[in-house]
Amino acid sequence: MTGDTDFDAVVIGAGFAGLYALKKLRDDLSMTVRVYEAGDGVGGTWYWNRYPGARCDSESFYYCYSFSPELAQEWEWSGRYPEQPEIERYVNHVADRFELRRDIQLSTRVTAATFDESANRWEIRTDRGDAVTARFLVTAVGCLSAPNVPDLPGMDEFQGEIYFTATWPREGVDFTGKRVGLIGTGSSGIQATPRIAAEAARLTVFQRTPNFSIPARHSAFLPEDQAKIKENYEDIFAATRTSWAGFPYAPIKRATASVSADEREEILEGLWGEGGFKFLWGGFHDLLLDAEANEIASEFIRRKIRETVKDPDTAELLCPKGYPYGAKRPPIDTDYYETFNRENVTLVDISTAPIEAITTAGLRTTAADYEFDALVFATGFDAMTGTLLRIDIRGADGVRLADAWADGPRTLLGLQVAGFPNMFTITGPGSPSVLVNMPVAIEHHVEWIADCIEYMRERGWTRLEATEEAQDAWVEHVAEVAKQSLFGRANSWYVGANIPGKPRVVMPYTGGQPMYRERCDAVSSSGYEGFKFG
């Protein structure tokens, strides 16, 4: 690491996005790049979220980089859904293989970034006292990286141990013989529940909203599975780039209502049996467009929950009602519902009796007091905007990003923000981002950004910025498309509903990857219509 203070680009974050941005800008565009990473290792999400049971919800062979055929051939995935340590090893391998570490400063959080109009450069400050400048600021902060810590009275008074799934201790936690209270039943809570239940003396799960979870059906790869995947990588990766959500399979083109009840049942059973996201993205194409079609799939899942969970009251509590399947990001699980058949596991409904306070001995709901040795918060993230807004980002004329986004995020293509020249937001709000298999969305953005920078450099330009008009039109389009789907019909983090006071806006672009990529291509091939250069 050099002591340089002026870079062509500063990248914030060394997760999947930051690592590829560094490689692309440094190695393909010969730019000087500095990456700042808050963690003391690379991996982003896969560095921080090391709670028991943390594993990828997408299958290994397409939740990975596609930019290097050599990398794809040499890396061996152990099975369908790798656990966190395996993915962390993979990102570390990528960092070593492409000699990325020398340009990454770990354990350093970017605290402020200000655009200097006179120089067309960003001034960046960190919590370690760094003060550097860069022509381009590339945010690779992840969509789910600012933990949501509920504002409950008494958090400091609890005498036991408190853990957050989003910042799990590196050394792990031994719950043997302990009474554990777990708050939150999103993907993290649903993955952690079976593992903690298997170890702890007692586990009490506090559920505010039940989720529709699909079994992962993890299995280890045999050597012949790996060989087949490696032979087919080119086709697999090509399919991920053209599909709606970045997965190598297509939805069923027929409308749910046009299929007989018997055939529908057979199809849903088949998808349930296969497991994973195929139920969402490889099922009927109208699942997230038509409320009645959605209800058929939703009721199918409820039936599976009722068949699995032996106690009828617990089963009913676990059955989601009142919102469509998929409108909240659906979890993928291993033995989640089965875990509620264990003697040592209890489900507590906090939708009717919310948590009032954390106490010295445990927690209190409006209905009862509970005692625990350890509390686990699986309460999610201030998604998509939280991490960016926790940095003091000021654009042209000193405008704060927090003010520009006071009524919800505004971007052009989720890649740029009007008034914030030379800043690119990888998988920013207004792009498909979290609705797409993340590495696929990330690679697309990094490559688009690199092309845009190259276009500027060829012309000797030093400043680019989204125009207000183009941004307004895009924000309107994003909202319009969202209205045609069911995504706005749940209180999910997609709409900011999990964070008190956050403006309710459908943040990801819900038009799907093909339509989005077409737009991005049209913009770049038209000489970046909607952007102004200088």
Q: Extract the tokens encoding 272.
A: 């349930």
User: Is 57 a residue that touches ligand NAP (CB under 6 A)?
Assistant: yes
Greatest Cα pair distance, the chain, in angstroms, is 69
Residue nearest to ligand NAP (CB): 186
User: Is 498 a residue that touches ligand NAP (CB under 6 A)?
Assistant: yes
Query: Which segment (118-126, 183-191, 405-413, 524-532) binds ligand NAP by CB under 6 A?
Result: 183-191
User: Is 56 a residue that touches ligand NAP (CB under 6 A)?
Assistant: yes
* CB-CB contact of 39 with 47 (8 Å): yes
> What is residue 322's three-state secondary structure?
coil
Query: Which segment (185-193, 388-396, 481-489, 508-516) binds ligand NAP by CB under 6 A?
Result: 185-193
User: Is 183 a residue that touches ligand NAP (CB under 6 A)?
Assistant: yes
Q: Shortest CA distance to 55 belongs to which of 16, 85, 83, 86? A: 83
Q: Shortest CA distance to 417 belongs to which of 458, 457, 475? A: 475
User: Is 380 a residue that touches ligand NAP (CB under 6 A)?
Assistant: yes
User: Is 379 a residue that touches ligand NAP (CB under 6 A)?
Assistant: yes
Output 330 or 512, the one with its CB closest to ligand NAP.
Answer: 330
Site for ligand NAP in 411-440 (CB under 6 A): 434
User: Is 144 a residue that touches ligand NAP (CB under 6 A)?
Assistant: yes
User: Is 187 a residue that touches ligand NAP (CB under 6 A)?
Assistant: yes
In sequence order, which residues have a C-beta less than 8 Å from that of residue 54 and are 6 or more positions away? Answer: 83, 84, 165, 168, 188, 191, 192
> Treating both helix axes as pointing N-terminal to C-terminal, what angle do 223-242 and 513-525 enclose, rounded to 10 degrees?
60
Q: Residues 273-312 vs ligand NAP: string with x where CB under 6 A? A: ----------------------------------------
User: Is 333 a residue that touches ligand NAP (CB under 6 A)?
Assistant: no
Output 395 or 496, the one with its CB closest to ligand NAP.
Answer: 496
Element (H, E) at 105: strand 104-105
User: Is 493 a residue that touches ligand NAP (CB under 6 A)?
Assistant: yes
Compute the least distance from the CB of residue 507 to ligand NAP, in Å. 12
DSSP secondary structure code for residue 222 in this structure: P
Q: How far apart are CA 94 and CA 375, in angstroms?
A: 35
User: Is 90 a residue that touches ligand NAP (CB under 6 A)?
Assistant: no
Distance of alpha carbon 15 from its chain centroid, rounded? 12
Compute the least distance from the CB of residue 204 to ligand NAP, in Å. 13
User: Following DSSP, what letter does each residue of 159-206 receive, concatenated?
Assistant: -SEEEEGGG--TT----BT-EEEEE--SHHHHHHHHHHHHHBSEEEEE
CB atoms within 10 A of CB 368: 9
Compute the least distance from the CB of residue 441 to ligand NAP, in Å. 12
Among 121, 329, 394, 445, binds ligand NAP (CB under 6 A): 329
List interacting residues with ligand NAP (CB under 6 A): 55-57, 144, 148, 150, 165, 183-189, 191, 208-209, 329, 350, 355, 378-381, 434, 493, 498
